[in-house]
Structures are given as C-alpha cells and as structure tokens.
Chains A and B, each alone.
Chain A
Amino acid sequence: MMRGGLLAVLGLLLMLAIPAQAVEIEEWETDEGLRVLYVAAPDLPMVDLRLTFDGGASRDGDQSGLASLTSAALRHGTADLDADALAERFESVGAEFGTSSLRDMAIVSLRSLTEPDWMETALDTLASVLAEPAFPESDFERARRQALQGLQRERQDPGSVASRRFYELMYGDHPYANWPRGERETLEALQPGDAHDFYRRHYTSGNGALAITGGVDRATAETIAARISAALPQGSAVDPLPPVPVRDEPVEERIAFPSEQAHILIGTPTLRRGDEDHYALTLANHVFGGGGFTSRLFQEIRSQRGLAYSVSSRLQPMAVEGPFRIGMQTGVDQADDAVAALREQLVRWHADGVDADELDASRENVVNSFPLSLASNSDIVGLLGMMAFYDLPLDYLERYIERIQAVELEDLNERLRARIHPDAMVTVIVGGQE
C-alpha cells in the first residue's frame, strides 16, 4: 500500500483527510523459490534492490562475529574481480552496493540508475558477487583485523559497552545475547572457509527474499529477480530460532567508565513480529517514550527536569522476542536520580496505563504520519525488505492503520499490564565509579 494505495486504507485515509495515491505491492516467487516483493516507482530513473537473508548474528553459533565478517567479506571480490576492481565496477556507474548484518537478518543492497548501460554493469556485478564471492585469505585477514579494531572502538564508547552487556543480561544463553561484532577469541579463530560455508548455508534463494522498487517495470523487475535468484546458492530456510526464556526477576549492573555521562539502559525481551499485541503496545510505547518530543519520558525527564539530551523508549519486534528498551544518558553525578525517575515513570505507566487523551494524540500521530513512512524509494524498499524477511502478509501495511484504529483504551492498558514487567527488567548503567 505504498503511498496509501490499497483500497481499504484509501477509504480510511480519505476519511481522515490524508491524501493517498495508488501504489501496489506485487509479489511472486522465482523458479528457485526466492520470494520477491515489488513496487513500481517510475518517477525517478533509479532502482533499489534489497536482499534479506536469515543469516544475521543470531546464526553465529559459537563463532561470534562470523555473520558480520561474512557480510563484510562480500566486498572482497569474486573469482574474476579483486576488491579494487569490484568497487571500481560499481562506482564507475554511480551504483551503491552495500552489505550489512543485524541480529536477525543479513542484507545485501544495490542502488543504481536505470540508465541501461549503467544498470547492466551494476546488476552484472551484483550477480557475480552473489554467484561466486571469493573469500581471499589476505582480505579476510584484514577484515578480521578491522573487526578487532572495531571491538577496540566499542570499548572507548560507553554506549556500546552498555548495549553489549544489556543484550547479554537480557538474553543469557539465547542467540540474541551474541554480540554481532563478535569477541576477540572467536574472531581470532575464524577462517575464510568459515565465511564461505556461512555464505553457502545462509545466502540462499530458499532462505532469503528480494525487495525491488524504482523505475523498472514488472517485466524488467522479473528479469532482475530471475538473474539474482539464479546467481544465489540453492538452499532451504534455516530452522527457527529457539524461544526466548522468560525473565522473572530484575537484575542491575553498574560498570565503571571514565565518562562524564552515565549511559542507562532498562528493558527486557518483549515482542516478536506478527504478535497481535504489537498495535496496542506500539501506541502505549508512543505515549511513554516512543513518540519523540511529545512522549512522557521526553517531557518529564528532559523538558521538566533537564536530566538528558536523549531519552526514549523503543519496542523492537524481531523474529523471536525482541527488546522493549528505555535508554538515556545523563551526567554521572545524577545517574541515581535519573534511574529512579525512569523507574517511577515506568511503574506509573504500567500500573495506571495511558489516558484517553494521550491515546488519541498518539494514535493521530501514528495514523497521520503513515504517508511519511512510504514517501521515498528508500522507505519503500526498507519496508518491503522487512515484510519479506518476517514473512508478513501482503496486506500487512494495508491493515496496519485499521488495526491501530481498532485499539481500545481499556484493552491497551490491559495488554500493557500483561506484557510489560517493570519488576523483571534488566538495568545497565555505564559511567562513573562502581
């Protein structure tokens, strides 16, 4: 329903005086079984491709950092092109080739002009990367050294130190506890063959999906998808991740750090993609700390008390329970006050819920800002990639506003009490003395 196109929503949006234009998601599967989502966006002579694979850091196993290093190694070249030549091929036609790796997904993206010669060079180069990525030892060694330096950079950043420990405490033995950048010991043990094997197992047509948007018609998009699909290794979907153990008691950890600010994180695993409570909790969180300048946390902690520049809460639905997370930074001398203030807000939100005015204001923001989230090709390809990866139904966007509209106050507060547990949260404070 890019830019509001799907009919059911169109009606709803018009009722709300939100303009909408017709845009449709088209879906098909390639011969090799790669799911494709496509939206035509003919206005600009550019195309965006986004491949997502179930090959993020949650698939590292005991080789922490492998997914990340595999992703980086896709830039090291192919059987015929070394790293320099590969970069040259993309950049000489103004194409932007990217690889990245999160906890859930591995992403390969390409942005190109649709000028035929230039697009052909970009697509041909992408196909060769996917078909025969080389994992040359010397490049791999360099990438490993860069990854180790990345760990050093994290150690000088209190926010990264806090985040790493936060995930360890939240997820324990679950794969989400694994830090995507890896550990020194595991990085040092990785071999180029490990990246090669990880690639063959995870970057397959049966374990991924492709999102396409831009100035290419359906027939051209199908040709592009077929080429990419044929280039990928064949393989099947990996097994689902294990469930996240339920936490039933709080834990707090303080880590000394020579910083002026303490970095505070409070949260717990909460929500997975496709959970029906997503809508109620999204609105509840918008009121609490997800709504930017108007949220309670911003008002109480920043505007009223001046304790922080940045304070917010976020719900991050993932393949299995992703975190609900409150974050702020404050001068080390007032860290205790700040933690107490956050907890007070958290407890009040949970116990008393939100009120009707707050719900109305948040709902209006979510509904009325919907066209903004589909306003650019970047937005669209990002959403398509997310939908494809999490296997969301094609009417997900179409029904999103409808479901947000359907949330009732009492139900929201009931779901908030049921799903958020202030007395069983992880708290990490990095900064100041122990």
Chain B
Amino acid sequence: MRGRNLIPALFAALAFAWPLAASATMAEIESDVVEATLDNGLTVLVLEDRRAPVVANMVWYRVGSADEHSGITGISHMLEHMMFRGSEQYEPGEFSRIVSRLGGRENAFTGRDYTGYFQVIGRDHWETVMAMEAERMRHLRLQEDEFQPERDVVAEERRLRVEDQPNSLLREQFMATAFLNHPYGQPVVGWMTDIQAYTVEDNQVWYDRFYHPNNAVVVVVGDVDAERVIAAAREHFGEIPAGDLPELKPRTETPQRGERRITVEAPAELPYLMMGWKAPVLNTLDDPADAYALLVAAGVLDSGEASRFAREIVRGEELAGATSARYSPFSRLDDLFLIAAVPTAATDVETLEAALLDQVERLKDEPVGAGELERVQARVIASEIYQRDSVRSQAFQLGMLETVGVGWQEGDRFVERVRAVTPEDVQRVAREYLVSERRTVGVLDPQPLDGADAPDPAAQPYGDGMGDL
C-alpha cells in the first residue's frame, strides 16, 4: 500500500543500523561520502554505490512538527502532501506521472524534525528528478481547489493511523502528557480540529518560511559519479537564493516535578502500557557517552529474542505478549527513553509495570554482563553491513543525521561509540535518567468493542463534517 509516510519517532532499531567499518575484515567497505555546500547554503551529500544501476535521490528540509505551534499542528505534514499538487512548471499530479514513466518509486515523509522527499530510480534519470525537486523547492503553486480535497485526505490519514488504533491513541496522549511546552508533545499528523481548520494561507506561510536551500539537504546515493552529482546540484539548485530563516525558540521542556500518569479509554481488546523517561540526546549533550550508553541500555532490555525482556518478561515469567524498549540519540531536542508492553491475559497492568520497573532497577543495581554487551555490539556491527543492502536506507540515514543537526559524520563514529560503552556507563545513565521524576506512564484501558458502550464517532467533536466532502 502506497502512501505518504509519517515518521513520528525514530526507532532504536533504526539507530542500530548505522554504518561504519567495525572490524578489520570489514574495513574495505567504509563509507565515502562526498559533501558540498553551495553558495546559497544548500548541503549536498553524495555516496557512490554501484552495486545496482539505481539511485536514491532525496531532498530533506529542516522543518517538522517540532517547529509547529498550537492551532496549526501537523501543518508540515499537510504541506508535504501539497508538494505533489502542482508547481509553476508541473500541473497537479504531473510530478508523479513523470517519475512513474521513468520507472521511479517516490514518496515523502514528515517527522518531528524534518520533512523529506525521495525517488528511487534507474541511474539514467536521477538528474531529471533532481531538477524537478529543485523546481518545487521554490515554485510550488498552492491552490484552493487542490488544497480542499487533500485536507480531507489528511483527515482520513489521521483516522486510519490514530483514531482507529487504540495503541496510537494512547501514544499520542502519552506524548502530550510527557511534554508540556516542548514540541515533541504534539502529534506529527496534527490534532484533528487543527487539520480541519488549515487554510491555503497556512501552507503558504509555512512553505515560504522553511523551504529554502539554506534549510535543505540533498542526498544522492547509488550508481552515480559524485562530482557529476554536485555539479548538477549547482546547476539546478544554485540559482535559488537563500531565504531568511526564522530563529528557533528553545522550547526547552519545563522541569518535570514528579511522575505523570494517564489512562486512555478506547474500544479495544487488549490493554497497552507505555513508560517514558525524559532523556538527553547527542544534540543536547556535551559528551556523547550518555547517549550511546542509553542506546545500549535499550538494546540490553529489548533488541532481539535473546534480550532481557524477551527472556524474562515474555518467555520466563510470561507477563507480556509483546515488549519494546527504544531510545534514539538522533533528534533535534531531548527525547524519551521508551518502554512499552502488552500484558498477557493472565497479567494485570500493575504487575507488568512492576516487573518492567524491576528490570530498569536491575540496570542500576548491577553491571550488564560482558556477553550481553557483546551481543548488542554484534547486532550493531551486523546491522551496519546489512544496512548497505539498500540505497534508500543509506540515503535516509545520511539525510536524517544531517537534518536533525548531529551531522552525517556521526555515522562514521557510530559502531566505535557503541563499542566504547562500558557496563559502568550503562549503570550510570540508568541511575541518572531512568528515575521516577523523569517518568510518564500511560495505560490503555480497553472498552467494549460491541458498540454497547462505545462512543458514537459522529458525536466526537471532530466528526462534524468540517473536513468531509
């Protein structure tokens, strides 16, 4: 099923998949990124990979839901949709028709810190799509008759991804509870009434504010010559003037004063438990060690079938049917260290929560075993190689690191840094960050599905037809 994607958060799994030659035998495939910055401030990153005659072409903008304020949440995502509905040179839908005839696959995604557009295409056509991306960087034509149906599409997207998915409903309200003034509390897709109240002008303002070469990163990975790509980028993007970018307000989260808890009631069969601790990221730390130690801590708890949650919570005590633990060092602002789980039929949520917290306490009380650390590191090394199987994944990671402000070079240090984490590091960060004053707990309380007590969707405040045809 094709659709434009949302990336509400980076997963630890993604963070685990980052390149760098990790052992002597793998040194020969070390990445060789070529970087250029044009006079107008556009960053261009190129990685030659000639395994197959294909190219991933991406344009990333440093704008996402973290830039939004109350009332227009999700506008970055809405604008992403509008980027396919006509520019000065291409009528609505024409961009996609051209890409399709060239055999390209295209899509776009919006996250908290970025909005990205990409095509994967045969090696003879990357410059065609690059030129088209350059055109829509500054020549989008936002039109009312194109905007109206697309706003309805976005409302349907929200219904699909959030309203009818009980776990997503919990996640959304959980994040809004964890963060008071920090923008990661806002959903990437936007609140429903915000979506239904967007105007063409809102989109225009957003486009004019953020879609400039000095706020963008072009990433090309595949069967290309790097110098030719950079020359082409100069040709197609070089004439676009730099724009005035807004100064970002800090929006630093106000200090949390004690644990927070919420319950979400929704028609569902299964409860769902989420816990999150506010944690720093590479961007907000002076010393990267804490971020990588948190990453390893999440890996010890839950990465693969041999990790602690799988062994002890899912198989051993059988308290949960599914678990996850994730943390990503790669975001613009402070984020959460997240644990989530579905209790088994024989377990109540309180028991599961206590067992998960015991596991967190164990990280503080005793050093992680050497074997566990080696297992996590082995998975990182392997993922680094597996990652290279896809030009799109490689391009994604370069663009993501660059756009969130960490810098693509962090990729070259990733395995080294994971390998530098010691059992004491894990213990130290667990003690410092995984504490109750930083914790938010969310529980999905399932309500009957049979309709007897279920809310009438038409009675919801956003079911008033504003966004409907």
Chain A residues at the B interface, C-beta cutoff of 8 Å: 3-4, 17-21, 41, 43-46, 75, 83-84, 87-88, 90-96, 111-113, 115, 118, 139, 142, 145-146, 148-149, 152-153, 155-158, 256-261, 291-294, 299, 302-310, 312, 327, 329-334, 337, 361, 364-365, 367-372, 374-378, 432-433
Interface contact A312-B457, CB-CB below 8 Å: no
Contact of A149 among B121, B159, B321, B454 (CB under 8 A): B321
Task: Output the least CB separation between A257 and chain B (Å).
Answer: 7
Q: Is B455 an interface residue when CB atoms closer than 8 A count as contact?
A: yes
B311 proximity list for chain A (CB < 8 A): 84, 87
Contacts of A367 in B (CB 8 A): 103
Instruction: Let me know if B345 and A18 touch, CB within 8 A.
Output: no
Report Cα–Cα, A43/B374, bound state, in Å: 26
**A-chain residues with CB within 8 Å of residue B150 when the two chains form the complex:** 303, 306
Contact B2 A293 (CB under 8 A): yes
Contact A87 B306 (CB under 8 A): yes
Give A310 to B269 CA distance when docked, in angstroms. 25
Contacts of B153 in A (CB 8 A): 302-303, 306, 308-309
CB of B92 closer than 8 Å to a CB of A? yes
Per the bound structure, the CA–CA distance linking A158 and B268 in Å amounts to: 11
CB pair A91–B306 under 8 Å, yes or no, is yes
* Measured CA separation A414–B353 after assembly (Å): 61
Q: Judge whether B270 and A152 touch: CB under 8 Å.
A: yes
A73 to chain B, nearest CB (A): 13
State whether A361 touches B101 (Cβ < 8 A): yes
Question: What distance in Å separates the Cβ of B143 from its nearest Cβ neighbour in chain A?
Answer: 13
User: For residue A302, which residues in chain B have a CB less than 8 angstroms away from its CB?
Assistant: 149, 153
CA distance A251 to B231 in the complex (A): 59
- Residues in chain B near residue A142, CB distance under 8 A: 315, 318
Some 12 contacts from A to B, beta carbons below 8 A apart, are A3-B52, A90-B306, A92-B374, A149-B344, A257-B449, A303-B93, A306-B153, A361-B101, A369-B104, A370-B103, A371-B53, A372-B105
| A45-B29, A87-B305, A333-B468 as given contacts; A260 in contact with B152, CB under 8 Å | no
Answer whether residue B177 sits at the interface, using C-beta atoms and an 8 A cutoff. no
> Is B381 in the interface zone, CB < 8 Å from A?
yes
Q: Given A153-B270, A375-B52 in contact, is the A258-B93 Cβ separation under 8 Å?
A: no
CB within 8 A of B103: which of A83, A155, A372? A372
- Is B465 positioned at the interface, with any CB of A under 8 Å from its CB? yes
Q: Which of A118, A152, A158, A304 contacts B164 (CB 8 A)?
A: A158
Q: Which residues of A contact B269 (CB under 8 A)?
A: 152-153, 155-156
Q: How many Å from the CB of B29 to the closest CB on chain A? A: 7
Question: Chain A: which residue is nearest B452 at the CB level?
Answer: A258
Contact A45 B26 (CB under 8 A): yes
**For chain B residues 307-343, which have a beta carbon within 8 Å of chain A?**
310-311, 315, 318, 321, 342
Q: Does B445 contact A (CB under 8 A)?
A: no
Chain B 387-401 interface 0/1 with A at a Cβ cutoff of 8 Å (1 = within): 011110000000000
B173 within 8 A of A: no
Contact at B458–A333, with CB atoms within 8 Å?
Answer: yes
Other A-B contacts than A149-B344, A259-B457, A331-B155, 6 sampled, CB-CB below 8 A, are A44-B385, A75-B305, A156-B446, A302-B149, A368-B103, A370-B103
A376–B52 Cα distance when bound, in Å, is 8
Closest to B267 in A: A258
Q: Which residues of A contact B102 (CB under 8 A)?
A: 364, 368
Chain B: CB-nearest residue to A48:
B389
Q: Which residues of B contact A333 (CB under 8 A)?
A: 458, 463, 465, 468
Beta-carbon nearest neighbor of A92 in chain B = B375
Give min CB distance, A117 to chain B, whole Å. 10
The answer to whether A375 and B391 touch (CB under 8 A), given A17-B124, A293-B84, A333-B465, is yes
Indicate whether B62 reaches chain A with its CB closer than 8 angstroms: no
CA distance A352 to B53 in the complex (A): 38
| Complex A-B, nearest 10 residue pairs according to Cβ-Cβ distance, in ascending order | A368-B103, A94-B382, A306-B152, A306-B149, A258-B454, A87-B305, A19-B53, A369-B103, A87-B306, A309-B157
Interface extent on B, as a size class?
Answer: 35 or more
Interface residues, chain B, with chain A CB atoms under 8 Å away: 1-3, 23, 25-26, 29, 51-54, 84-85, 92-93, 96-97, 100-106, 120-124, 148-157, 159-160, 163-166, 223, 267-270, 304-306, 310-311, 315, 318, 321, 342, 344-345, 371, 374-375, 378-379, 381-383, 385-386, 388-391, 446, 449, 451, 454-455, 457-458, 460, 463, 465, 468-469
Q: Within 8 Å CB of A95, what residues of B? A: 382
Chain B residues with Cβ below 8 Å from A258 are 267, 449, 451, 454-455, 457
Chain A nearest CB: distance from B376 CB in Å? 9
Q: How far is the CA of A84 from the CA of B149 in the complex (A)?
A: 52
Q: Which listed residue, B156, B166, B270, touches A309 by the CB 8 Å rule?
A: B156
CB pair A306–B469 under 8 Å, yes or no, is yes
Closest Cβ–Cβ distance, residue B80 to chain A (whole Å) = 13
Q: Which residues of A contact B163 (CB under 8 A)?
A: 259-261
The distance in angstroms between the C-alpha atoms of A20 and B148, with both chains bound, is 43
List, in ascending order, chain A residues with CB within 8 A of B383's CB.
94
Residues of B close to A433: CB separation below 8 A: 451
A261–B458 touching, CB < 8 Å? no
Least CB distance from B265 to A in Å reads: 12
B460 to chain A, nearest CB (A): 8
Residue with the highest number of chain B CB atoms closer than 10 Å, among A3, A18, A309? A309
Chain A residue nearest in CB terms to B393: A376
Contacting residues, chain B, for A310 (C-beta < 8 A) = 1-3, 160
Are A115 and B23 closer than 8 Å at their CB atoms?
A: yes
A331 to B465, CA, bound (A): 10
B469 & A309 in contact (Cβ 8 Å cutoff): no
Q: Which residues of A contact B344 (CB under 8 A)?
A: 145, 149
> Chain B residues with Cβ under 8 A from A303's Cβ?
85, 92-93, 149-150, 153
**Chain B proximity of A342: nearest CB distance (Å):** 15
Q: Chain B residues with Cβ under 8 A from A111's Cβ?
A: 386
Give Cα A259 to B448, complex, Å.
12
**Bound Cα distance A303, B86 (Å):** 12
Give the nearest-CB partner of A154 in chain B: B269
- Residues of chain B with a CB closer than 8 A to A19's CB: 53, 122-124, 223
